[in-house]
Amino acid sequence: MRKNLVIAAIGVVMMAAVLGGCGKKKDEADPTLTPTVTPTLTPTPVVTQEPEKTPSEVLSDILTKVKDVYGENYRPRMAYDENVYKEVMEIDSSLYDAAIGEGPMMSVHVEAFAGFHATEGNAEALKEAVMAYQDKLKNDTLQYPMNIPIIQASVVEAVGDYVFFYMLGGLDTTDLTDLTQEERIQAWTEANKSASNVIHEVLGE
């Protein structure tokens, strides 16, 4: 009989334990558990960088912008090639790795534009070669009188490894007949400044 009472008492205790566990609220947090937090990842912005332009592309951009600036007053129409640089301008091909240029279709005109990118270490030598060509034109006594002020106002400009020669403007020479030679040269000098502005704008100098 006593044995049966002990067994019954144990059963009551176990039942109470079970009922007590079931009585917990389902939404009651277990203090022993640490909640898992998923971090929010911020996507890294992708920066697209334009590829650096080659010297040939830079020179082409400059010539295109020069033409746009002068519009109908841009007179050179004949594209230069290596023969012009070598035979006419007398510039050694080893001094540059990119070049672009245009000159007049007829010998009666002289307006022109040429740009070069020097090979490594040859920027100064290239500039001197272009200046020698400029001096040759200025000292040519067989030039048409109307072209002398244009040639005298011609520009050799070096910006970094780039060297340019140009005489532009598209001025009407009949409008300059009443001016002195010095005033005509000054007029063409002013007209050349638009090309210089383009060169510095494109090259960021």
**The predicted structure's pLDDT at residue 26:** 47
Concatenate the DSSP letters of all residues of 130-154 into one string. HHHHHHHHHT-TTS-GGGHHHHHT-
The answer on pLDDT for 175 being more than 90 is no
Question: Could you report the per-residue pLDDT of 186-200, keeping only the tens digit for each?
Answer: 999 999 999 999 999
CA dihedral 183, 188, 191, 192 (to 10 degrees): -130
Average pLDDT, integer, range 51-68: 96
Q: 10 Å Cβ neighbour count for 117?
A: 21
Q: Which DSSP state fits 32?
A: T
Question: Could you report the per-residue pLDDT of 98-110, keeping only the tens digit for each?
Answer: 999 999 987 788 9
The answer on pLDDT for 33 being more than 60 is no
- 60: tokens are 């082409």
The answer on pLDDT for 9 being more than 60 is no
As a whole number of angstroms, the distance between CA 103 and CA 79 comes to: 7
